[in-house]
Structure 1
Amino acid sequence: MCRNIYTLHNFEPAATDDEVHAAALQFVRKITGSTKPSNANAAAFDRAVEEIAHTSRHLLEDLVSAAPPKNREVEAEKAKARSAKRFAAA
């Protein structure tokens, strides 16, 4: 379930609000054990996602790195290469 949470720090351009929200949603889904909350829990679920996204945005803004920013396309190609190697037919 959490495989959709990607590193968002130190990319150029910076992580979008949609990316931060998606990561927060995946986190809440993981810790609650559900992908869609019941109607009784929907408000608490949505509030948790918004609070985690808000806090995550502040964290990403405050983090400092001496490393050069990463390129999204290059990192995506690296991930595809790792996946191809991992799932290659024997």
Structure 2
Amino acid sequence: MCRNIKTLFNFDPPVTDNEIQAASLQFVRKLSGFNEPSKANTEAFNRAIEEIAAVARNLMDSLVTNSEPRNREVEIDRARARSAKRFGAPKN
């Protein structure tokens, strides 16, 4: 899985369209191998992002859970702690 694509479900506040768009862009970049497509592939690249974002929004709106929503700030702190443990403390 692409490490830049983050879990978007069951957060408070809920996922935004910008977050879904960013995840869709990362997914298309990963699949295509392009960071930026050529002019010949731009239309297909952008269409894929839009279609994946629409499907992702539909998925997010359809999922249900009985668990409490996760707090974004707490999850960010946990990710930083895992990163520091794995790679060492950031240098200032």
Fold conserved (TM > 0.5)? Answer: yes
CA RMSD of aligned residues (A): 1.4
Query: Given residue 87 of structure 1, which amino acid in structure 2 is its aligned partner?
Result: F
Structure 2 gaps of 5+ residues are none
Instruction: Give per-residue Cα distances to partners, 1:18-70, cap 9 Å, x unaligned.
Output: 00000000000000011100000000000000000011001000001111100
Q: Distance in 1 between matches of 2:12 and 2:58?
A: 17
**Structure richer in strand, relative to its length:** 2
TM-score (norm 2): 0.92
Unmatched runs of 5 consecutive residues or more in structure 1: none
Identity of aligned residues (%): 60
Runs of 4+ more than 3 Å apart = none
Matches within 5 A, 1:1-90: 2-88=2-88
Question: Normalising by the residue count of structure 1, what TM-score does the alignment of the two structures yield?
Answer: 0.94
Q: How many residues align?
A: 89
